[in-house]
Structure 1
Amino acid sequence: MSSSAPQRRRIQSIAVPLLGVAVLSYFGYHAIQGERGLIRWWQLRQDIRVAMDMREDLAAQREVLERRVRLLKPEHLHPDMLDERARVMLNLVGPDEVVILPPGE
């Protein structure tokens, strides 16, 4: 029995640090690669940047459309805008205009 006691102490002196390294490795891996880790955080920041850029583009497009709609309102009717929209919607041209169709149509 006396020979197993030093052997047990030697195993414990090795097992405790190995267990600590294993636990630190586990948590370290998940802190970087996990669902809420650093890599996912960087990906989310990039997704946010892309969404913000898309939002700015859509806001600019919306502003252009709102400006065009304002020109068509009855209290601020712009004759050129009305003429343009009527021609597009009704597929009409003036008697002194020439229509040039692209090839294949």
Structure 2
Amino acid sequence: MWTRHHKKRRHGRFVLPAITVAFLGYFGYHSLNGDFGLRAAEGFEKRRIERERDLAKLVAKRKELEKEVELMSDGSLDKDMLDEKARYTLNVSRADEIVIFNSYF
């Protein structure tokens, strides 16, 4: 009867730990440097702060415009506001006037 004897290989016991280290190394690297990793999260946070700042500016601008629209509504038409808007839009002034344009329109 023939029996087979397998030699115990020295390198065979390192295969599973090597695969484990490679697996953990791959996912560890991408958790730091990947598209959604920790370093990318810092960039996302910076962009979020910038966009919140832009949103605050836009909200303030919208409130100003809503206030102007309210002043020009039918019930409470402010003649000075209407005159100012018409002059600015049509670029019309009298000869004895000094015109100073603000860039908030």
Same fold? TM cut 0.5: yes
Count of matched residue pairs: 97
RMSD: 2.5
Distance in 2 of aligned mates of 1:16 and 1:32: 24
Q: Which residue of structure 2 lines up, in the alignment, with residue 34 of structure 1?
A: 34
Q: Which has the higher helix share?
A: 1
| TM-fit CA distance, 1:5 | 1.7
Q: Percent identity?
A: 36
Distance in 1 of aligned mates of 2:99 and 2:27: 71
Aligned residue runs from structure 1 range 45-84, under 5 A: 45-84=45-84
Unaligned runs of 5+ in 1: 101-105
| TM-fit CA distance, 1:99 | 6.5
Unaligned runs of 5+ in 2: 101-105
Structure 1 residues 27, 99: closer, same or farther in 2, change over 3 A? closer
Taking structure 2 as the reference length, the TM-score comes to 0.74
Q: Does 1:25 align with 2:7?
A: no
Q: Which residue of structure 2 lines up, in the alignment, with residue 14 of structure 1?
A: 14
Taking structure 1 as the reference length, the TM-score comes to 0.74
Distance in 2 of aligned mates of 1:99 and 1:23: 72
